[in-house]
Amino acid sequence: MVAPRARRSRWPRLPKYVLAVPAWAWWAMFFVVPVVLVVVASFGSKIEGSAGRVTYSNLSLDNYREALEGGFDGTFVKVLLQGMRTTILGTLLCLVIAFPLAYLLATRVKRGKGFVLALLAIPFFTNFLIRTLAWRIVLAPKGFISNTLLDWGLLDGRLDVLDSRLGVQIGVVYNYLPLMIFPLFVALDRLEITHREASKDLFANRLRTFLQITLPLSASGIIAGTMLVFVPLAGDYVTANVLGGTKGNMPGNLVATQFLQSQNPSLGAAIAVILILSILAVAAIGAIVVKVVRQVARVDHRAGAALLTTLLLLIGAFVLKPSVSSLVFSFLALALVAGTFWLVANTPERVGDSLLRAWSVVVLVFLYLPIAFVVAHSFNDNKALEVWAGFSTRWYGEMWDNSLLIDSVKSSLSAAVVAALISVVLGTFAGVALARRPGKWTVAFMAILLLVLTTPEIVEATGMQIQFVSFGGILREGLVPLWIGQAIFSIAVVTLIVRARMQGMDDSLEQAANDLYATPVQAFRQITLPLIAPAVLAGGLLAFTFALDNVIISDFVRAPGTNTFPTYVLGQVKTVRKPDIAAMATLLLGVTLLSLVLAAVVLRRSGEDSSKVAATLTGGS
């Protein structure tokens, strides 16, 4: 017995957190430090004549005074309030639209569930900027839909939705709807059917079962979906740039303007800090409201319903600007939603299911309509993307002559590949550490991981720009800034995927390898890695997809002279857009679909069920 002990002592146990150190260090350097720099820079001032540098020699509140100048009549406060209205309304609309679909998919669909999930995932993984730009084709005043509605006599004039607040609202609901659907589906799919059956055995009708059993037990999905939609939507300026024009400004537009155009990062940092504080304030108020309503409802369901109704009416009045008419409109909208739920719950079950299926078809059409228009208009013979002039394949040939477009695609693919590799290595080690070596360190690690997932991307982007400009050197050369920035979020996604995979595995094989005196490296290479390979591959494919699609990080941190496909398209928004963009977008859509299909197939073959796959697609476990 002495010899084995002596031999085993050659491999001392390293600290539990050692495998998580690389990811931790990456986030500390390129996430925590940039966020701190944003806060500090908000008290500094710009260096005149410099390319976006900040001096910290004379810290003051001048930037905050300038941002808040004019109070409620000032430009920033007006844009902030309007942006919060758009964000809150967009989040509520996503919840109302997504819940019936998620409910149907989780509780009614028995066969083909994975296929429907794949259909829902495709729009989510389609390039963010392209699917936003697609709405300019769908809603174009001289476009197919506008002309059709005119021909049918349903419109007195051409569609006038673009470059307006309504256009932005449609765009944000479309872009963030999948982020609400997946968490809701995961929560509903994991509910025990025995709870609903017990409610029916106690003679509760379907409406009461839904309100007292299904809805409360799906609260985790509602909260997760709300946060996944609300936080990034609040910092989104791309949708407003593309669809809103001067009338659709969001707070993120003001931040981007100060950083990318006015070269005043200190003022932009102050606006970003106010934005994040506003998001936290709204989230805190929402959490308090939910807690109060739940406590009241436990005592008296009717009182809870009345309180919730009153609060929703007040929220509606704020979103639509305080007035009697907006209060009435909110009441009518709430009555419509409540009436629809009552109708579905009180009709025969077959009829109710048919209504849910019809609604799901409408949602799928809504999700695929812009994608279909982009693909169709890639064959447009017109030089203007939005106006159809006949079928032609010319742009699939001519796009290769557009050196700026081709170079941007090459940069995007190169940056995405390297960012994915970084994410796979760091995320795999971190996921293994979380699953096999948990400890007190896990709390701190998960805290920073959740911050990475929930912090508005524009805050990270502004901080990294300040950091990279200040340090210079390799941080401002070639694709290095893109590798760094695009890996931050993806590392978190890979970490969660690998952790989820390992938590569902028996560790007896790893223990057996240890008993046979395998070194830690040998045990990892010969036992652990083959077992988690499906999760690593799926995580890498998702990381590649996320990096390829990144707009905000790329727009802020790219080195001078470097362009990615998303930033190239963003630069073309205010000019005459040619169909060569749509042609390249269609090819990249094929690349994205291939990555997505491979990830889903790998996960399914490794034994993951539909719920696990859906959770993985949104970076959850």
Strand 54-55 to 45-46 pairing = antiparallel
Chain segment 12-37, per-residue pLDDT in tens: 566 667 888 999 999 999 999 999 99
Enter the DSSP assignment of 212.
I
Query: H or E element: which one contains 88?
Result: helix 75-107
**Whole-number pLDDT of residue 198:** 62
Residue 33 CB neighbours (<10 A): 15
The angle subtended at Cα 26 by Cα 21 and Cα 30, nearest 5°, is 150
**What DSSP letter does each residue of 453-512 carry, written as one string?**
HHS-HHHHHHHHHHHHHHH-GGGGSTTHHHHHHHHHHHHHHHHHHHHHHHHTS-THHHHH
Query: H or E element: which one contains 181?
Result: helix 165-189
**Whole-number pLDDT of residue 371:** 92
Q: Which tokens sit at 552?
A: 């905000």
The residues facing 380 across adjacent strands are 391
Q: Which tokens sit at 563?
A: 């362009």
Query: What is the spatial distance between Cα 327 and Cα 315, in angstroms, rounded to a whole number?
Result: 9
Q: Would you say 6 and 420 are in contact if contact means Cβ atoms under 8 Å apart? A: no
Q: Would you say 395 and 584 are in contact if contact means Cβ atoms under 8 Å apart? A: no
Residue 305 CB neighbours (<10 A): 15
In which residue are the tokens 């809150």 written?
Answer: 88
3-state secondary structure of 146: helix
3-state secondary structure 280-347: HHHHHHHHHHHHHHHHHHHHCHHHHHHHHHHHHHHHHHHHCCCCHHHHHHHHHHHHHHHHHHHHHHHC
Q: Which tokens sit at 236?
A: 């989104």
Q: Read off the pTM.
A: 0.84
**Whole-number pLDDT of residue 367:** 93
Q: Would you say 487 and 423 are in contact if contact means Cβ atoms under 8 Å apart? A: yes
**Whole-number pLDDT of residue 545:** 84
**Whole-number pLDDT of residue 242:** 87
Phi, psi at residue 618, to the nearest 5°? -110, 15
**Whole-number pLDDT of residue 211:** 66
Q: Which tokens sit at 449?
A: 């991981």
The residues facing 54 across adjacent strands are 46
Query: What is the spatial distance between Cα 126 and Cα 141, in angstroms, rounded to a whole number?
Result: 25
**Whole-number pLDDT of residue 487:** 93
* Domains, the chain, ordered by start: 14-41+377-582 (1.10.3720.10)
**Whole-number pLDDT of residue 6:** 42
Exposure on the CB side of residue 150, measured as CA atoms within 13 A: 12
Query: What is the spatial distance between Cα 421 and Cα 424, in angstroms, rounded to a whole number?
Result: 5
Q: Collect the ranges in the chain with pLDDT lower than 70.
A: 1-16, 49-51, 192-212, 297, 300-302, 304-305, 313, 316-334, 337-339, 341-346, 504-529, 576, 602-621
Query: What is the spatial distance between Cα 8 and Cα 306, in angstroms, rounded to a whole number?
Result: 67
